[in-house]
Amino acid sequence: MDAVELDETTAIERAVAGDHAAFGTLVERYQQVAFRAAYLIVRDAQEAEDVAQEAFVRAYGQLATFRIGEPLRPWLLRIVQNQALNTIRARNRRTGLLGRIAIFAPHTAPSPHAEVAASDESSQVLAAIAELPDDDRTILHLRYFLELPEREIAAAIGRPPGTVKSRLHRAGQRLRAVIETKYPRLREGDDG
């Protein structure tokens, strides 16, 4: 049987036994969703590629701990999420240092491209989401951008499905509050 035709369980079992081609099948199957999940958190394509790649390396190293028979996608997305959050923390540490150094640099006006992007409605929604706590951002990204069902979100974040439902509700309320206070034009629609 060709490695590309392997079902998920067989591919995992073979990968655990050291079959690199079987793990390659899993990478091919999930690289798109891993990249998308990483991008939603880090907001940079190159960093998202790096995060996804590192997540697959870590997943391969931890594959022996995976419970055969469980869906792989939520388990993998948890690894991607953790790697992406680590990348954000590292970026924030670097940004803090650069900010302290920037005090001594001359200030420049934002580029026209940055001004257009900032006024774009989708950029405003993403900016509003970015103001939420990590847990809220993650659960909104998993549900509305990756379109995962609640059961897979529960597995990805390691919480019961009922908790996912309540967290989605609270995250939605917090997002509405941010939009109402900081991005009121989003509530007005296109006629404003």
Instruction: Provide the token pair at 78.
Output: 């948890």
- Give the whole-angstrom CA distance, residue 118 versus residue 134: 22
pLDDT in tens, 4-31: 478 999 999 999 999 999 999 999 999 9
Tell me the mean pLDDT in the region 81-103: 70
Task: Calculate the dihedral angle through the C-alpha atoms of 103, 106, 111, 116, rounding to the nearest 10 degrees.
Answer: 40
Name the residue among 164, 156, 168, 159 with its Cα closest to residue 79. Answer: 156
- Give the whole-angstrom CA distance, residue 10 versus residue 3: 10
pLDDT in tens, 112-140: 554 554 456 777 778 888 889 988 888 88
Where do the structural domains in the chain lie, given as residue ranges? Answer: 1-107, 110-192
Instruction: Give CATH for domain 110-192.
Output: 1.10.10.10
110-192 has the same fold as 1-107: no
CATH topology classification for 1-107:
Rna Polymerase Sigma Factor; Chain: A (1.10.1740)
Tokens 């549900």 belong to residue = 143
- Give the whole-angstrom CA distance, residue 55 versus residue 18: 18
pTM here? 0.60
pLDDT in tens, 59-78: 999 999 999 889 999 999 99
